[in-house]
Amino acid sequence: MSELTCSLLTCGYEEEQEYTMDDYTGRLARWCPGCGDHGVLTAMQRMLEAEQLKPEDTVFVSGIGCSSRFPHYVKTYGFHGIHGRALPVATGIRLARPDLNVFAVMGDGDCCSIGTAHWIHAIRYNVNMVTLLLDNNIYGLTKNQSSPTSPQGHPSYTQPKGSFLPALNPTAATLGVTNASFVAQTADWVPSHLFETLRAAFMHRGFSFVRVLQRCPVWTPKVFEDAVIDPKQTELLTHERGIRDEASAAIYTNTRSHDPSDLNEAQNLANEVGVRLGLFYRDESAPRYEETRRLPVYTAEEKIEILDKELDRYAV
């Protein structure tokens, strides 16, 4: 240790550290080759580096599914929970530790089926965190079961003659919940847009919901194929208060100007047929649960004292 370092530590200063993507890279991802989750992971690690988020102050929470392996592949704190329960855990972490950067990662079955009630109320609570819905239109980890977002007629092992019902639209559903404050949609095959969307979601104060259209090369390889092959099949929403993605402008020329403060228009756009990427809605004024409830802030010593007092009640 150098004399300068000793001197800084003695004086109470902490040496500044610049984080790189390697500092956020955990174990080798075990998703299938070609899985869109790889692109989401890379974009997230780029965002963590760009914002210089401290790994020890960052938490990823997930449920069950292919996407829910996410916390294993990011070198931060992580919680791999049970099916559909990522959001209540993430909400609890954020309320107890408002100093942490909290991310919840879910799949379409995880969020839109067993986790539906938590999803709706998390939107309504508007706690300050980022939520990613990685939507590949199928239950992938359980091997080809129809999910709520499976296209009508798409065959699976549980519905071999094709999904019976029209697919649920997570973007439109989120926009219909009271107190929604940030709703965006992006895709794993547009890396610059994905990165900029994650960055905008992190900068938002409130519950940021990002639906990522994500390819599954094994069970739903054809679902987004047209949009991947032909950029004109993808419409980008543009606005000065929307997602800034100049890198994709030369390729994705099919654009539409949309003011993200217009909820009615956002709902109309979400319900239109086609692949549409961008910021649908943002409301910075929506009340946040952690502020309206005004939870008390305790020191570590006070927390231990309160916990010991509570446990003493059950002493025999």
Q: For the residues of 249-279, what is the DSSP string, one character each?
A: TTT---EEE--TT-HHHHHHHHHSSSEEEEE
**CA geometry: angle at 262 spanning 261 and 266, to 5°?**
110
Is position 9 within any domain? no
* Dihedral pair phi/psi, residue 149, rounded to 5°: -100, 5
The pLDDT score that the predictor gives to residue 140 is: 86
Q: How many folded domains does the chain comprise?
A: 1
User: Confidence class of residue 1 from pLDDT cuts 50, 70 and 90?
Assistant: very low
Residues 6+ apart with CB under 8 A from 150: 137, 138, 156, 159, 163, 167, 220
The pLDDT score that the predictor gives to residue 282 is: 98
* Mean pLDDT computed over every residue of the chain: 92
**Residue 291 pLDDT more than 60?**
yes
Other Cβ atoms within 10 Å of 215 Cβ, number: 23
Q: What is the mean pLDDT of residues 96-122?
A: 94
**Residue 136 pLDDT more than 80?**
yes
**Residue 30 pLDDT more than 80?**
yes
Higher pLDDT, 195 or 5: 195
Q: What is the mean pLDDT of residues 139-165?
A: 89
* Parent domain of 269: 20-288
Is position 203 within any domain? yes
Longest Cα separation, the chain? 73
In contact, 139 and 163? CB cutoff 8 Å: no
The pLDDT score that the predictor gives to residue 297 is: 77
Q: What is the pLDDT of residues 228-283, one digit of tens each?
A: 999 999 999 999 999 999 898 889 999 999 999 999 999 999 999 999 999 999 99
**Residue 4 pLDDT more than 50?**
no
Is position 1 within any domain? no
**Residue 20 pLDDT more than 80?**
yes
The pLDDT score that the predictor gives to residue 8 is: 46
How do the residues of the chain divide into helix, strand and coil, expressed in percent and rounded to 5? Answer: 40, 20, 40
Is position 6 within any domain? no
Q: What is the CATH number of the domain that holds 148?
A: 3.40.50.970
Is position 293 within any domain? no
State the pTM of this model: 0.88
The pLDDT score that the predictor gives to residue 70 is: 95
Q: What is the mean pLDDT of residues 82-100?
A: 94
The pLDDT score that the predictor gives to residue 14 is: 55
Is position 298 within any domain? no
The pLDDT score that the predictor gives to residue 11 is: 52
Is position 131 within any domain? yes
Is position 8 within any domain? no
